């Protein structure tokens, strides 16, 4: 079933932040925290330092009313710099690739900062900044 969540980017302190949020909301992670070193190597991908390998790739935490926050460490070694404006993204988990493509095409029209929809090891993924300055992420998990 499609769902909406909030995706948060941090500059190296995702684990600390999410352990804090876990204590505030008194909930448990909805899946184990994944580190960069846990991901399968990607062909042509950059070599990561030991520090980057121990950074958080993904974490999910239910908060209130069925809403979930997710997060990652943005890697400075890959040119990522977290600032107000790129630290929060609305994540759309779509049921089908067709739904993701339709929404991505509509929301990215006239926008910028576009990472086109592409196949990743977990499924289809893409991201854009719409013409109003709102960041959107799209995911379709492999079945």
CA-CA-CA-CA torsion sign (61, 70, 139, 3): positive
Q: Determine the Cα–Cα distance for residues 22 and 84; give it in Å rounded to an integer.
A: 23
CA distances from 127 to 13, 84, 132, 136 (A): 22, 17, 14, 6
Residue that wins the pLDDT comparison between 100 and 77: 100
Domain range for 35 is 3-141
> At residue 84, does pLDDT exceed 80?
no
Beta carbons of 35 and 57 less than 8 angstroms apart: yes
Number of domains in the chain: 1
pLDDT of residue 112: 85
Give pLDDT tens digits for 1-38.
789 999 999 999 999 999 999 999 999 999 899 999 99
As a whole number of Å, the CA-based R_g of the chain is: 15
Q: Determine the Cα–Cα distance for residues 6 and 92; give it in Å rounded to an integer.
A: 9
pLDDT of residue 36: 93
Give pLDDT tens digits for 123-136.
999 999 988 788 99
> At residue 45, does pLDDT exceed 80?
no
CATH number at residue 62: 3.10.180.10
Mean model confidence pLDDT for the chain: 91
Beta-bridged to residue 137, according to DSSP, are 91, 127
């Amino acid at each position: 079933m499609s769902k909406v969540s909030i995706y948060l980017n941090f500059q190296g302190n995702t684990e600390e932040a999410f352990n804090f949020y876990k204590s505030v909301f008194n909930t448990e992670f909805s899946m184990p925290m994944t580190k960069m070193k846990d991901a399968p190597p990607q062909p042509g991908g950059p070599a990561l330092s030991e520090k980057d390998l121990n950074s958080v790739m993904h974490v999910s935490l239910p908060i209130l009313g069925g809403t979930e926050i997710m997060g990652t460490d943005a890697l400075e070694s890959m040119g990522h710099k977290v600032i107000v404006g790129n630290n929060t993204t609305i994540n759309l988990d779509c049921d089908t690739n067709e739904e993701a493509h339709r929404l991505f095409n509509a929301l990215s029209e006239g926008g910028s900062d576009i990472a086109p929809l592409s196949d990743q090891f977990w499924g289809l993924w893409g991201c854009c900044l719409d013409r109003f300055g709102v960041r959107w992420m799209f995911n379709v998990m492999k079945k």
